[in-house]
Amino acid sequence: MTTASPLTLSPIVAGLWRIAEWKLDVAARVRWIEQALALGITSFDHADIYGDYQAEALFGEALKAAPSLRARMQLVSKCGIRLRSAQRPYRLSHYDTSAGYVRAQVEQSLRNLHTDRLDLVLIHRPDYLMDAAALADTFVALTREGKVAHWGVSNHSASQFALLHQHHPLATNQIELSPLAMDALDDGTLDQAQQLGLRPMIWSPLAGGRLFTGEDAQAMRVRTEMEAIAGRLGISLTTLAFAWVLRHPSRPHPITGSGRLESLREAVAALDVHLEPEDWYAIWTASKGHPVP
């Protein structure tokens, strides 16, 4: 089996989960993409279900209006969730990694994004009914047809990743990590990423905004500690949060969630910040509420 060239993503990835909420017209979406590219953010993270199945099409309208942008970026999408909504009146939300569904969603993403190839497609959540060998065959077919360059997963445990990786090479596991969500440090997924030399993608590095607005004890402890460190380093809380994620030796790609240009700048600024272990562990300790064992 021929293999594609190694996957290359920008150090910071732009997340498009909330693009529908940004209320940008097509021209403004084009400008936003151009501004992200100017900051060195060339990878754009989508999923078929984002924005009630509408987000990819909004981004695709911008690419249709300015087709030269496509060659300057990497398009990432996800599939495998049948999300019950007005768009898809399923009896209930469920997972589906059957050949027919994965193919249908990939081809719909291609149409939505006005492109003939996706640089990376992730299986969005572990499907308990997944037939790993059959899914690998689907990957091979869509790759052979030139529709997908690389495959990966999202939110998969180390064993779930290993099962599928045994049948077809995976490029990444997109997982949650932030100063308020640290399970990946202990559940083996980041260890596996280092072991295999496959850089993970990180969703919600700002804990969905809890870092700034959370009133629970954990969020307040972490915010107090991080504000002190950020003040000493002369950086924003956003920059510090991204720097904390980037400090992990698995060399993760954190994903932004905001459409604000300033938020993108703050995320990119983290690439120039090197946290000392003591500061990294000070945030860990504040999050856990106890010192290291």
Task: Give, for 13, the enclosing helix (H) or strand (E).
Answer: strand 13-15
- Measured CA to CA, the distance from residue 183 to residue 176 in angstroms comes to 8
Provide the strand spans (E) within 98-229.
120-123, 151-154, 173-176, 201-203
Q: What is the C-alpha end-to-end distance of the chain, expressed in Å? A: 47
SS3 state of residue 79: strand
- Measured CA to CA, the distance from residue 189 to residue 201 in angstroms comes to 11
Report CA torsion sign: 262, 268, 273, 277: positive
SS3 state of residue 121: strand
- Measured CA to CA, the distance from residue 33 to residue 27 in angstroms comes to 10
How remote is the C-alpha of 49 from its chain's centroid?
A: 14
Beta-bridged to residue 15, according to DSSP, are: 45
Active site (annotated) includes residue 90: no
Decide: 198 and 169 in contact? Cβ < 8 Å.
no
Q: Which candidate in 50, 53, 101, 128 is catalytic?
A: 50
SS3 state of residue 238: helix
SS3 state of residue 175: strand
How remote is the C-alpha of 191 from its chain's centroid?
A: 18
- Measured CA to CA, the distance from residue 21 to residue 227 in angstroms comes to 28
As annotated, the active-site residues are 50
